[in-house]
Amino acid sequence: MKIAILTGGVGGSRFLCGLVEAVDPAGVTAIVNVGDDLEILGLSVSPDLDSVLYALAGLGDEERGWGRAEETWNAIETVESLGGEAWFRLGDRDLGLQLVRTQARRAGQPLSAVTARLTAALGVEATILPASDEPLGTWLDTPNGSFPFQEWFVSRRHRDPVDRVRFEGAASTRPAPGVLDALHEAELILIAPSNPFVSIGPILAVERIRSALERRRVPCVAVSPLIAGRAVKGPAAEMLQRLQGGTTAAHLAQCYPGLIDVLVIDEADAADADAVSTLGVRPIVAPTLMRDAPARRRLAEAALDAVALA
Ligand code: GDP
Ligand code: CA
């Protein structure tokens, strides 16, 4: 079965691990957020692509949700002791990948080509595509100023309330090679349980990706990143409250107007199901906490069942 899935880092890669257990990974194409990408210490870092890559390669740190398992931090501690930029944490093992990618980018290889090479080298069967090969930076406008994504998220610990999310360059940004084909060939489109504003938002800001979704002929199923109106991790609930006026499943569904047919919501949010239906989106109630491998797989199966039942 051919599946295209829009995804961010932590929540998205947890879900993808379950998805590739439930279906043949060769049919899965992950279209990954690049709005978080940054240049740091002279390196071209793509955090969400790396979370997905490490998770699917079985190398990710499941607990932390980003970076590699069994990581050590000697290099970044040296950077810190020398007064270098150490606020963005890069582990020693992770740095090896950043070096390879940075060199390839400097040599002129597009991000999608480098990603394909890394995916193959790590033995990942699924296809991993950046949403775009062109820079598409996420910016947050807050009462305390405007910040690029990583400065707001990591350095300022997403404490500033967000008035607006902007994507620099999005208007003219084209999808990376393979993205539109994957969306057109898919028998099912999924939106991972990722932050709708800063993980899925930048992907949908690429006009041709959004219009491909609007014109889809196959079902699009989103999985909620909220449980009992709260994010499992990160600022999704605060953003939903401030930008969408509430944190129910219906507020989440409104982040994807005309783009989704089904929304998988947690049992704790079952009371929101009617409000979701009212929006023309079919709610599916399931346990959505991905605490271990069986839970991740069951959630993926719930999303797949949603289509079988449609
Ligand atoms: P980021 O790019 O690393 O911020 O990752 P994502 O946007 O892909 O994921 C962040 C979202 O994942 C948060 O809003 C979390 O609530 C959600 N998330 C993390 N773990 C789980 C889980 O076990 N279940 C569900 N439903 N959502 C989760
Ligand atoms: Ca991210």
- In tens, the pLDDT along 114-170 reads 999 999 999 999 999 999 999 999 999 999 999 999 999 999 999 999 999 999 988
Compute the distance between CA of residue 27 and CA of residue 186 in angstroms, rounded to an integer.
9
Q: Is 49 within a domain?
A: no
Average pLDDT over residues 93-115: 98
CA dihedral (195, 159, 62, 11) in degrees, to 10, reads -10
How many domains are contained in the chain?
1
Strand partners, 129: 31
DSSP for 211-225, written as a single string: HHHHT-SS-EEEE-S
Q: Atom of ligand 1 at shortest distance to CA of 153? A: 4
* Contact assessment for residue 127 and residue 30, using Cβ atoms and an 8 Å cutoff: yes
Question: Residue 140: what residue type?
Answer: L
The domain that holds 302 is classified in CATH as 3.40.50.10680
Distance 14 CA to ligand 1 centre (A): 8
The Cα 273–Cα 308 span in angstroms is 19
Q: What is the mean pLDDT of residues 272-278?
A: 98
Cα 199 to ligand 1 centre (Å): 10
Q: Which structural domain range is residue 226 located in?
A: 3-38+125-135+171-309
Is residue 119, in this structure, part of any structural domain at all?
Answer: no
Distance between CA atoms of residues 166 and 151, nearest Å: 14
User: Coil, strand or helix: which one is 295?
Assistant: helix
In a domain, 112, yes or no: no
Closest approach atom of ligand 1 to CA 65:
3
Residue 229 lies in a domain: yes
Ligand 1 lined by 283 (C-beta under 6 Å): no
Q: For residues 77-105, give the mean pLDDT.
A: 97
Q: Is the CB of 14 under 6 A from ligand 1?
A: yes
Cα of first residue to Cα of last residue in the chain, in angstroms, is 16
For residue 190, the cross-strand partners are 5, 221
CA distances to 29, 88, 127, 203, 273 from 37, in Å: 20, 12, 19, 13, 35
Domain-embedded: residue 129: yes
Q: How far apart are CA 217 and CA 59, in angstroms?
A: 35
Q: Tell me if 69 is assigned to some domain.
A: no
User: Looking at ligand 1, which atom is closest to the CA of residue 36?
Assistant: 2
Residue 104 maps to a domain: no
130: closest CA among 260, 9, 297, 259? 9
Task: Kindly state the average pLDDT of the residues 23-42.
Answer: 98
In a domain, 100, yes or no: no
Average the pLDDT over 167-188 and give the result: 96
Phi, psi for residue 61 in degrees, rounded to 5: -85, 105
Q: Measured from the CB, is residue 236 less than 6 Å from ligand 1? A: yes
What are the start-end ranges of the E strands in the chain?
3-7, 28-32, 38-40, 43-45, 127-130, 137-142, 145-148, 164-168, 188-191, 220-223, 226-227, 230-231, 262-266, 282-286
pTM over 0.95: yes
| Mean pLDDT (the chain, rounded) | 97
